[in-house]
Structure formats: structure tokens, C-alpha cells
Amino acid sequence: MKKAIVAVLGVLVIGIGAFVVFAQRSEGGKRGGFGHRRMGMIFKKLDLTEEQKTKAQEIVKGAFEKNKGTFDALKANREKMKAATASGAFDEAAVTAIASEQAGLMSQMIVEKERTKSQIFAILTDEQKAKAVEFEKQFEDKMKSRFGKRGGFGGPDVSEE
């Protein structure tokens, strides 16, 4: 049971992390971080028009602004968890409450990430949509080959023997 919970939380953290990296902007509105390079490569491979690029950037910026409060709440929760466990003492009720709150926030972020993806997908042509689906499959395959059959980054091996 604990392994399943750890695996699910690991997947959620990875998904949220990808969305956060994808949505963040560095100073001056310049792109920064791995997510922007990946987004730029995908936009280039999909051969987006300038209008499509502008719309996609507006969608991502709007999602980031809309979710700024959730990002801040996630950060505050991480700080609460550090404070609750810093002394080495373990208060299961406190940790469970913080974890439950964090799970709810992460759930909101997953919904927003998928909403954003859907909005961007809606501005693509049929040919671009097919390419995007293929790129996503290639990325998943690459991650599977990189991390194997584990339950996520550094997770336990869940393969059948």
C-alpha cells in the first residue's frame, strides 16, 4: 500500500514539476529552463504559424497567472512539511494533514495542466495534432527507456520477475 502511494505521489510530483517548468518565465519575459526549450522545439517541429505561437504563449501565460496562488500554496506546504519534520520528531496527524492539503493542490495543478494542453491542442491543425501525438509518444518512450520499469524517478522497481 505504501509503495502504491509513493508511486502515485511520485507521478503527481513529476507532472506538476513539468507544468511548473513549462509555465515559468525568467526575468524580462525570456524563456528559461528545460520546459521552454522543449516547448520551443515542439513548436518548431509542429511548424506553428506566428499566430499559433502567439496564442499558445498567451494560453501558457494565462495559465501561469491563474495558478500563481496554487504555486504559492504548494511552496508554503513544502515549508510546513519541512518545519513539521525538521526536529526529527514525527507527528503523523500533522504530516497527514499537510500531505492531504498538498494532494488537493497537486490535483488542481494536474487539471490545469491538462486544460492548458487541451487549449493549445485546439489551435493546431489536424496535421499538427497528429505530429503532437507522435512527439508525446516519443517523449514517453524516451522516459521509459531512461527510467526503466521503475515507478518514477528513483522509485522502486515494480517489474514482475
When the pLDDT of each residue in the chain is averaged and rounded to a whole number, the result is: 76
Check residue 127 and give its pLDDT. 92
Alpha helices, DSSP H, located in 24-91? 34-46, 50-66, 68-85
For residue range 81-120, what is the model confidence (pLDDT) as tens digits? 998 888 888 888 999 999 999 999 999 999 999 999 899 9
In this prediction, residue 34 carries a pLDDT of: 43
Q: Is the pTM of this model over 0.75?
A: no
7, 49, 115, 135, 144 from 140: Cα distances, Å: 17, 26, 20, 9, 6
